Amino acid sequence: FFLESQRKTGFIGLITCLISVKQLFLDVVKSGQLDFILTYKLSQDHIEMLFSAIRSRGGFNNNPSAAQFEAAYKRLLIHTNLTVSNGANCAPQDATNILSVTSTKKKPKENFLDILCVEEMPNLISDDNLQEIPQYQTFAIEHISGFIVKKILCVLKCNVCAAELIDTNSRHKLIDIKNRGGLTKPSIDVINLCEIAEKNFILWITQAIKNQKNINVIQYLIIKCMSSINIKLYFVNLNKHIYSQSPINNHLLQIIKLILKYYNTIRLHHFNKELVGSKMRIRSKLTKIITFKNQ
């Protein structure tokens, strides 16, 4: 009677599910591959609870973009156990973990570059192409330099090197305007290195970005900047400090590379954000129609 009524969908689905479980039992248990089958593990409740947790990460946004979904998934993945919201469609009946990560430390594969590799690439950035930076942009670079010094001081353990990164007596127009007592004032050497990094970054965008693929951009820009400066002119007070250190990996080289790394990372993220954000978005206004706009 139920199979012939208008509400037959649920009953047909139940019968189909039971037939599928029976056939699965014959395939894996009778053949000796498994000793038993836990039918509860075949339920879709776990994946529903997973997407419920991802949905809760987006707040009021019920249709996240690919980048938002990736960020939420990574945020959930770093926890050993993923808890389920009490307001989800399904309630867990055991202590099964939805997501888990191993403690194994993977070694990422990197494309190592050196000065010779950089010089062999097309559209080289020469010193003749380096242009002067406008004054308003210099003020912004000084402000970014203070943030870079603050980040370096968090990982720097040498007090002698840390003292060379800060100049509390210097005057910076933008920093002085925005400072309420918590901003860091960088030294002139840090600002000069950031300006060189900015010049090389601009030229890399305009000249070399189209012909360079599958390379570590940050490492490439660091090498380009290192090859265009005279290290002896920066942080002169550290010359005696590095006498007892390795000539190829002393504190002076480490500080310069850290400054260039942090600055190029910030600029690259800002450039990518502007590149992606230039497209007109309607996601925040139309939450249903955007599916047909590929957003």
Q: Report the candidate in 183, 182, 180, 202 with the shortest Cα–Cα distance to residue 263.
A: 202
Radius of gyration of the chain (CA): 29
What are the beta bridge partners of residue 186?
Answer: 166
What confidence score (pLDDT) does residue 291 get? 54
pLDDT value, residue 45:
78
What are the extents of the domains in the chain? 2-77, 115-277
Q: pLDDT, tens digit, for every residue of 108-143?
A: 555 555 554 445 444 444 445 456 777 888 888 888
Q: What whole-number distance in Å separates Cα of residue 218 and Cα of residue 168?
A: 30
- 3-state class of 107 per DSSP? coil
Note the pTM of the prediction, 2 decimals. 0.58
Q: Long-range CB contacts (< 8 A, 24+ apart) of 199-204?
A: 199/130, 199/131, 199/133, 200/125, 200/130, 200/224, 200/225, 200/228, 201/264, 201/267, 201/268, 201/271, 202/131, 203/125, 203/129, 203/130, 204/125
Q: What is the pLDDT of residue 266?
A: 92
- Which residue in 53, 78, 54, 75 sits closest to 64, CA to CA? 54
Question: What pLDDT, on a 0 to 100 scale, did the predictor assign at position 217?
Answer: 84
Residues of the chain with pLDDT under 50: 80, 116-118, 120-127, 129
The reported pLDDT for the residue numbered 87 is 64
In 3D space, the residue among 212, 202, 194 whose CA is nearest the CA of residue 260 turns out to be 194
* Dihedral sign, Cα of residue 55, residue 40, residue 104, residue 111: negative
**pLDDT value at position 263?**
92
Q: What are phi and psi of 206, to 5 degrees?
A: -85, -25
